Structure 1
Amino acid sequence: MLRRPVLVRAALAAAVALLVTACSAQAADVAGRSSGTRTAPVTPARLGRTLPDDPVRMVLPATGAETRWTQGLYVFGQQVTRAAAADCARRGGFTLPREIPLAFIRFFALPDLDFIARHGLSVSADIPAAVPGPSTVRAGTAAEVSRCRAEGAKAAAVLSDIYLPVERRWFGELGSLDDEPAVVRARQGLSGCLPGHGVRARDEKTFMAVADARQNSASAAELPATESELGRVYATCMRPVEAVRAPARLRLRAGFLAEHTAEIRALRTKLVPALHRTERRYGLTLVFPEP
């Protein structure tokens, strides 16, 4: 089964209301497949390592494309958590329980339409798995595991403390744009565009419900084409909305930067050096999904 977008975890609790996922909506009415044209399977995404010219674009994204850096930053924090916890366990001579593979998390409040049109709603680049520890080591006790996971969280907090407070405020302000008259008018066009492409949905929320239902009902052989079709429809119909929202976000960010000069100065000074130190400390590489 292809990987689906999920909600951002507690680190961005203030931003959860802004994220829409294709796997969390309730089941909805599903229309027939659009036209008889064959849709190519989704294209695998690549991994990139190039940092933005300004870390503000990674922490305070204003466009869908910028969220690729944000996704990479979140995954890196989780990798640090796991690497530091694994170091702790190795020192103690035990292993930690196996965890689910890490995945890049999409931001549907800032949809990356070019990426979605190319790769579908859910598919992203695969994150290299960590090298497992020796299998002959004993399993850790509940207390040992808890202690090492706490050590891992503390290591990740060294990074997140640099950017998370200002980032939370930024995501808290983004929702205000959806009430702007120009955005409301642009969203109204979805009620005609989505059905026109074979999806019986009146807005983004109901589209995601239809997408979830189609993905769940598709066979393994059908799923790549289903992903591709849904991504193409979503990107096509959301472009007029993003044509209004993306410039508005850029203007909002310019004002936000002017209001938080001290925090932004600290972010620009501290974050990238801290990322490089952490890469060296744990043998990790900060990567981002690319088209």
Structure 2
Amino acid sequence: MIRPASPYRFVARVVAAAAVALSAAACSTGPGPSGSAPVAHAVPARLTHTLPDDPIRMLFPATGAETRWTQGMDVLRQQASRYAAASCARDAGISLPEQMPVAFIPFGDIPDLDFIDRHGFGQSAEVPAPAAGPLTARSGNPAANRSADPAAIRRCSGAGSAAARRTREAFAPLQEEWFRELASLRRDPATIRALGTLPGCLAGHGFHVRDEDAFFGLVDSRLLTADATDLPRVNRELGHAYASCMRPVEAVREPARLHLRTRFVDEHADQIRELRKTLVPSLRGAEEQYGLRLSFPAP
């Protein structure tokens, strides 16, 4: 899992590794599973900067398409954190430990089937670099050799964490409550019945697994072990099979999530009324402070 305490379920290292390999691999085609039509290489994803008509759709996503806005907000948080930490490190003349690249990470509990069908699991839109550029320790500064100073590293990492908290402190508790509400749908009998059809459908595409989690394990294995030239085909086959087989499941879950959100918004009317006024201005403030631009993946 990407983040054990979050709604994310796809493996970040797999997504990052596959994205690098996909970008380097030559275009390829090949026969799909079970004699289906040839599957082409993954189509590069693009970015959009268009906000939703109601910012609540960014905070409390109920459909796969809405999670793209939520992913963009999370990338803004990650970038603000990296910027603040790197700025601290530059001023202190130290180097920080390397981290995974900032990435748009999908939500497993609210799969974006249109995106997965088009791009597979190993590719998303490229996260834009901050307008101010990356911040590093000044070259030629003797203090830059203090890269192993634990106290300085902790201080700068703390500055990054504080910046991340500031980007979401106004809505984090309510958003976390929303995702706990969503988790209740896993026990819904209609959802359980719909998910019961998944293994048979995936078997028809050539993937024999017992359930959705086992399929994700197969995705991990296939993307990490596929030859670079064959990776685009493998990625598309996996994505197409999953999207096709999950559409009947989402036909059950998506209306349930939308109904749940309507009730959730009604129950938290005062807080949500305030967030509708303050969310976008606060995001614009973070953009300006850190030289960022709020961006969202698009099919």
TM range (shorter): 0.7 to 0.9
**In the alignment, structure 1 residue 135 sits paired with structure 2 residue 124:** no
Once the 2 structures are TM-superposed, how far is the Cα of residue 96 of structure 1 from its aligned partner? 3.0
CA separation in 1, counterparts of 2:50 and 2:13?
32
Q: Which string of whole-angstrom CA distances, capped at 9 and with x for unpartnered residues, describes residues 29-62 of structure 1? A: xxx9432632101111111111112221111100
Out of 133-142 and 253-262, give the one that drifted further.
133-142
Which residue does the alignment assign to 2:10? 21
Once the 2 structures are TM-superposed, how far is the Cα of residue 274 of structure 1 from its aligned partner? 1.0
CA separation in 2, counterparts of 1:265 and 1:33?
49
Which residue does the alignment assign to 1:215? 223
Q: Which string of whole-angstrom CA distances, capped at 9 and with x for unpartnered residues, describes residues 40-89 of structure 1? A: 01111111111112221111100011111111111110110111122223
CA separation in 2, counterparts of 1:157 and 1:23?
21
Q: Which string of whole-angstrom CA distances, capped at 9 and with x for unpartnered residues, describes residues 124-151 of structure 1? A: 1111344243433314422122112212
Out of 275-284 and 197-206, give the one that drifted further.
197-206
CA separation in 1, counterparts of 2:73 and 2:63?
16
Query: Which amino acid is 2:139 matched to?
Result: S
Q: Give the match's secondary structure for 1:47.
A: strand
Identity of aligned residues (%): 49
**In the alignment, structure 1 residue 163 sits paired with structure 2 residue 171:** yes
Query: Which amino acid is 1:65 matched to?
Result: A
Which residue does the alignment assign to 2:276? 268
Which residue does the alignment assign to 1:233? 241
Which residue does the alignment assign to 2:86? 86
CA separation in 2, counterparts of 1:86 and 1:200?
46
Given that 1:22 and 1:209 are in contact with CA atoms closer than 8 Å, whether structure 2 keeps it comes out as: no
CA separation in 2, counterparts of 1:146 and 1:23?
24
Match of 1:248 among 253, 256, 269: 256
Q: Which runs of 5+ in 1 are unaligned?
A: 1-5, 26-31
Query: Which amino acid is 2:152 matched to?
Result: E
Given that 1:194 and 1:202 are in contact with CA atoms closer than 8 Å, whether structure 2 keeps it comes out as: no
Query: Which amino acid is 2:3 matched to?
Result: V
Alpha carbons of structure 1 residues 117 and 263: separation in structure 2 relative to 1, 3 Å = same
Query: Which amino acid is 2:290 matched to?
Result: Y
CA separation in 2, counterparts of 1:234 and 1:287?
26
Give the paired residue count: 274
Which residue does the alignment assign to 1:48? 48
Which residue does the alignment assign to 2:118? 118
Query: Which amino acid is 1:85 matched to?
Result: A
Q: Which runs of 5+ in 2 are unaligned?
A: 15-31
Alpha carbons of structure 1 residues 163 and 47: separation in structure 2 relative to 1, 3 Å = same
Which residue does the alignment assign to 1:7? 2
Query: Which amino acid is 2:125 matched to?
Result: A
Given that 1:190 and 1:237 are in contact with CA atoms closer than 8 Å, whether structure 2 keeps it comes out as: yes
Alpha carbons of structure 1 residues 128 and 136: separation in structure 2 relative to 1, 3 Å = farther
Which residue does the alignment assign to 2:28? none
Over the aligned positions, Cα root-mean-square deviation in angstroms equals 2.1
**In the alignment, structure 1 residue 192 sits paired with structure 2 residue 181:** no
CA separation in 1, counterparts of 2:215 and 2:194?
16
**TM-score, scaled to structure 1:** 0.87
**In the alignment, structure 1 residue 72 sits paired with structure 2 residue 67:** no
